[in-house]
Chain A
């Protein structure tokens, strides 16, 4: 996954102008930002699973809770 896509997605979270531009023209906004064509295509195709995979998203480490019963037993 390109650094530009990570930067782009990060900035999209907090930059209102970028968000509006993206909303009106996804392809051109990503191109102007320098997101490589192959990454941009994943966004346009809404291929979220592949994007997550490429971002190294690791939801295997997302379960952080144990219930009282287990705490006492172990």
Chain B
């Protein structure tokens, strides 16, 4: 039996369209697949590429039973252990997550680190994330205005230096404010807390976009604009991402530019 190894790949948001050639060949070549892919065509696509698929979804935290730990974090650790068991058994393991496997995904990074710590070869391949789809669907170039991204609860609970002259993307709106890591919906006051926090930086009539990339080739993306004050009335689902456009132009640092002889006459 060869020495075990781990490769982490992502299916993108629209499967199989977003699967890279490299990911396809690594899925095909693996001894065993561990997959956590919720999207409609994800598992069926993966199963066609490799017939030894273990569904990590079966280890996902289950509110109704204690079989997969007491919260999401504990169930992620069970997934990491399941992956590592096969690596330790000397198998070439491919773990698959949806979107980009390293963007807002906890168990993938932990598994790579653990495998490396234990002396196994472990790598992660890049893939298409929800944010990549957002840039395409909303026609936003993060290079134009700058862009910041936060997990929604983190944005709510911490004091951040938010730059309202740049765009902002908030992830995991669907569990905003949940400190128990057991909920499948926002906490009772989650959206209200989010609104209050956003209103520290933006006016109540600031237009934000609720975004859901298409996960089926027959379906358009959801692009719904609401004002900040309407946010608590809008449907928020597990895959909803919030795009907050910039409020104002950045301020040109005239003193700095002058010091370095920068001609600012044509600057916006």
- Residues of chain A touching chain B, judged by Cβ–Cβ distance below 8 Å, are 6, 9-10, 12-14, 19, 43, 46, 48, 51-52, 55-71, 74
B105: A residues at CB distance < 8 A: 64-65
Pick from B68-76, B197-205, B224-232, B254-262 the stretch touching chain A. B68-76
Q: Name A43's closest neighbour in chain B (CB-CB).
A: B218
Besides A59-B238, A63-B238, A71-B73, 7 other CB < 8 A contacts?
Answer: A12-B217, A55-B40, A57-B215, A63-B184, A64-B106, A70-B73, A70-B181
Within 8 A of A (CB), among B228-268: 237-239
Pick from B13-21, B120-128, B187-195 the stretch touching chain A. B13-21
Min CB–CB distance A19 → chain B (angstroms): 7
B219: A residues at CB distance < 8 A: 46, 48
- Residues of chain B touching chain A, judged by Cβ–Cβ distance below 8 Å, are 14-17, 36, 38-41, 44-45, 57, 60, 71-74, 76, 97-98, 104-108, 151, 153-154, 157-158, 171-172, 174-175, 179, 181, 184, 215-219, 237-239
A14 near B17 (CB under 8 angstroms)? yes
Please classify the interface of chain A as helix (H, G, I), strand (E, B), loop, or mixed, using the class held by over half of its residues.
helix
B76 near A66 (CB under 8 angstroms)? yes
Assuming the contacts A55-B40, A62-B238, asked whether A12 and B72 have C-beta atoms less than 8 A apart, the reply is no
A43 to B216, CA, bound (A): 11
